[in-house]
Structure 1
């Protein structure tokens, strides 16, 4: 059985108790083509979100993702039970936007 990258990190880290639901799942599932919410969620996004919905470490996964990602534009895929667009919006809400063109805040 092959662990996804996130599942390997969860198992290796002194993190939450529980086995990640993504353990043994093809990592590509969590990087679907991003959809516009007004068009509804894609089948691929729904499949990834379904895995996260049953995960006992989903909150830890989301907080780890937000801590590791330094800029919102680098947020990709489904992680921590949220779509890419939702995590980007949350990242901006929590950390703000990076100043444009190297300008200081």
Structure 2
């Protein structure tokens, strides 16, 4: 029996000199947002509209998933969503299984 040891991609402390992206979502506005400063120290943002089936938790997850897909460099991601933070803590060593919610299935891929 062999044990696979993965190098974690998530750290408990912020990465120095990495882009910090703040993510949030609003149920009333049906919008998620990611905000960061670019290399010229200017604020940038990306707004994402909710799909009709999105809950606040899936909308918060949309912002984080977009952030990880958009940037190809080390990141610090800040989220106020306990759900998203919990998902990020457990996703690296989670087993792959069927998800009944089609929206979550797409986000977890």
Give the TM-score taking structure 2 as reference length. Answer: 0.26
Q: Which has the higher contact order (CA 8 A, sep 6+)?
A: 2
**Which structure has more helix as a fraction of its residues?**
1
Give the TM-score taking structure 1 as reference length. Answer: 0.26
